[in-house]
């Protein structure tokens, strides 16, 4: 299944042709690389991601790449530069076998090797383990969190400048995170891990979803960062890197907007705590979501950037907090956000 930010958007015919041309060029280069890698003995390997679902369906998330025989693509314990993850060669439109609760299902990935598919299966609430394989590869395990039918609360959190200090000009954030940094070099935002962990603990059984505009290529690095800094476990939703079927470059804002709407549709009982920062887009996205789904927002927590971070981010967003509806709280760290939300959730 294609990522949600690949849906067609209005554009001129000329721009559409350029976008499709860019995607075709990328596909041609990737195909040549795949053929060369297979001739040198590379085999399919799966990078599993944490999924989520209800008691009647699950959202399976993974990426299929070509790797040296007998070797995993990324070792969880080793220090890995972002560019190594970026240049891992994905398999276009892969077929993946999913085994869960004794049942087998077949799903397909997109042109970037990313699997984002819904499987109809009945599971009990809590954590489960999927087994994924492709082209006869050794199965890998992927965790999936099942939300009980009576749960009424969930958490959605941004990553850059919300749980992880970026301190870079926004146009450079994606490139820096992708090509340079490893998880050891990233700094957590003070108090945010405690804020999310305590909020989740006060609402047992609630899903936690990290919704970011980062590329799927760095998902293993971000997962290790979150785990190392004691953030609560949850699904990670990222985007394709580079051209899509209808864009010269993917739209991060559309990716977030579409997934937020999807959460509202998939979990009609849940009210969400939306966590982000005031560096440009999160406030506007959350305000727009609240306008479309006023009964789906429990509260909004916005981490305020420092003056230096705000300059690098291109300024602060202009969305005000004064309005009717769910409570909005602002603070520079997780501890202050937790104090302000103490009696509001």
Q: Are residues 190 and 139 in the same domain?
A: no
Q: Are residues 70 and 137 in the same domain?
A: yes
- CATH number, domain containing residue 70: 2.60.40
Look at residue 248 and tell me whether its pLDDT is greater than 50: no
Encoded tokens for 283: 């406030």
Q: In angstroms, rounded to a whole number, what is the distance separating the alpha carbons of residues 223 and 218? A: 9
- The reply to whether 29 falls in a domain is yes
In terms of pTM, does the model score above 0.85? no
- The reply to whether 3 falls in a domain is no
342 pLDDT tier (thresholds 50, 70, 90): confident
- The reply to whether 257 falls in a domain is yes
Q: Are residues 132 and 94 in the same domain?
A: yes
* Confidence (pLDDT) at 259: 97
- The reply to whether 56 falls in a domain is yes
* Confidence (pLDDT) at 142: 96
37 pLDDT tier (thresholds 50, 70, 90): low
Highest mean pLDDT among 95-99, 180-184, 210-214, 222-226 belongs to: 95-99
Q: Taking the CA of residue 153 as centre, how many other CA atoms within 13 Å lie in the half-sphere pointing to its CB?
A: 14
Beta bridge partners of 45: 65
Q: Are 340 and 331 in contact (CB under 8 A)?
A: yes
Where among 109, 130, 146 does a domain terminate? 146
Task: Count Cβ atoms below 10 Å from residue 35 Cβ, excluding itself.
Answer: 10
Q: In angstroms, rounded to a whole number, what is the distance separating the alpha carbons of residues 285 and 201? A: 26
- Of all residues in the chain, what percent carry a pLDDT higher than 90? 52
* Confidence (pLDDT) at 87: 60
List pLDDT tens digits, range 132-176. Answer: 999 988 899 999 999 999 999 999 999 988 998 875 555 555 555
Q: Are 210 and 235 in contact (CB under 8 A)?
A: yes
Q: Are residues 116 and 210 in the same domain?
A: no
Domains contained in the chain, number: 2
Q: In angstroms, rounded to a whole number, what is the distance separating the alpha carbons of residues 132 and 142? A: 7
249 pLDDT tier (thresholds 50, 70, 90): very low
- The reply to whether 51 falls in a domain is yes
Lowest-confidence region among 15-29, 65-79, 108-122, 179-193: 15-29
* Confidence (pLDDT) at 3: 40
Lookup result for tokens 């690389």 = 33
Task: Give the residue with greater pLDDT, 39 vs 226.
Answer: 226
Lowest-confidence region among 195-204, 228-237, 241-250: 241-250
Q: Are residues 74 and 177 in the same domain?
A: no
Q: Are residues 73 and 158 in the same domain?
A: no
Look at residue 27 and tell me whether its pLDDT is greater than 80: no
* Confidence (pLDDT) at 168: 54
- The reply to whether 4 falls in a domain is no
Task: Using CB atoms within 10 Å of the CB of residue 127, give its burial: 0 to 12 exposed, 13 to 18 middle, 19+ buried.
Answer: exposed
- CATH number, domain containing residue 314: 3.40.50.1000
Look at residue 272 and tell me whether its pLDDT is greater than 80: yes
Q: Are residues 217 and 108 in the same domain?
A: no
Q: Are residues 177 and 74 in the same domain?
A: no
288-304 burial by CB neighbour count: b if 16+ within 10 A, else e? ebbeebeebbbbbbbbb
* Confidence (pLDDT) at 74: 42
Where among 121, 146, 171 does a domain terminate? 146
Q: In angstroms, rounded to a whole number, what is the distance separating the alpha carbons of residues 28 and 34? A: 10
- The reply to whether 2 falls in a domain is no
Look at residue 250 and tell me whether its pLDDT is greater than 90: no
SS3 156: strand
Look at residue 243 and tell me whether its pLDDT is greater than 70: no
Q: Are residues 135 and 200 in the same domain?
A: no
* Confidence (pLDDT) at 307: 67
Where among 146, 170, 199 does a domain terminate? 146
Look at residue 89 and tell me whether its pLDDT is greater than 50: yes
Mean pLDDT of 68-83: 52
Q: Are residues 284 and 301 in the same domain?
A: yes
Look at residue 223 and tell me whether its pLDDT is greater than 80: yes
List pLDDT tens digits, range 209-218. Answer: 999 988 888 8
Q: Are residues 136 and 266 in the same domain?
A: no
Angle ∠(2,273,345) on CA atoms, nearest 5: 160
- 289 φ/ψ sector (left φ>0, alpha ψ -120 to 50, else beta): alpha
* Confidence (pLDDT) at 138: 86
* Confidence (pLDDT) at 147: 98
Look at residue 294 and tell me whether its pLDDT is greater than 90: yes
Nearest to 194, CA basis, from 337, 331, 340? 337
Look at residue 85 and tell me whether its pLDDT is greater than 80: no
- The reply to whether 80 falls in a domain is yes
Q: Are residues 121 and 187 in the same domain?
A: no
Phi, psi of 240 (to 5 degrees): -70, 150
Mean pLDDT of the chain: 81
Q: Which domain holds residue 212?
A: 153-341
């Amino acid at each position: 299944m294609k990522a949600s930010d690949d849906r067609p958007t209005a554009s001129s015919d000329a721009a559409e042709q350029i976008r499709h041309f860019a995607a075709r060029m990328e596909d041609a280069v990737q195909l040549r690389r795949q053929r060369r890698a297979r001739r040198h003995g590379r085999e399919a390997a799966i990078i599993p991601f944490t999924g989520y679902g209800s008691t009647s369906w699950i959202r399976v998330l993974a990426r299929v790449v070509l790797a040296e025989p007998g070797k995993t693509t990324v070792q969880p314990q080793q220090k890995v530069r972002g560019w190594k993850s970026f240049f891992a060669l994905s398999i276009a439109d892969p077929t993946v076998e999913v085994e869960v609760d004794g049942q087998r299902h077949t799903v397909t990935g997109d042109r970037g090797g990313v699997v984002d598919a819904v499987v109809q299966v009945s599971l009990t609430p809590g954590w489960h383990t999927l087994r994924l394989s492709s082209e006869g590869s050794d199965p890998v395990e992927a965790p999936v969190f099942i939300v009980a039918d009576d749960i009424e609360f969930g958490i959605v959190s941004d990553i850059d400048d919300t749980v992880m200090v970026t301190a870079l000009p926004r146009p450079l954030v994606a490139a820096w995170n992708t090509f340079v940094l490893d998880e050891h070099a990233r700094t957590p935002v003070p108090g945010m891990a405690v804020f999310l962990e305590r909020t989740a603990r006060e609402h047992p059984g609630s899903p936690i979803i990290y919704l970011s505009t980062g590329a799927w290529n760095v998902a293993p690095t971000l997962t290790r960062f979150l785990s190392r800094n004691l953030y609560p476990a949850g699904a990670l939703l990222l985007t394709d890197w580079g051209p899509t079927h209808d864009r010269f470059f993917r739209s991060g804002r559309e990716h977030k907007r579409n997934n937020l709407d999807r959460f509202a549709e998939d979990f009609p009982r849940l009210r969400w705590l939306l966590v982000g920062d005031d560096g440009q887009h999160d406030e506007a996205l959350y305000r727009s979501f609240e306008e479309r789904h006023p009964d789906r927002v429990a509260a909004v927590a916005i981490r305020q950037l420092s003056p230096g971070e705000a300059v690098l981010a291109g300024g602060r967003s202009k969305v005000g907090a004064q309005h009717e509806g769910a409570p909005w709280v602002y603070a520079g760290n997780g501890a202050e956000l937790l104090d302000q939300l103490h009696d509001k959730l």
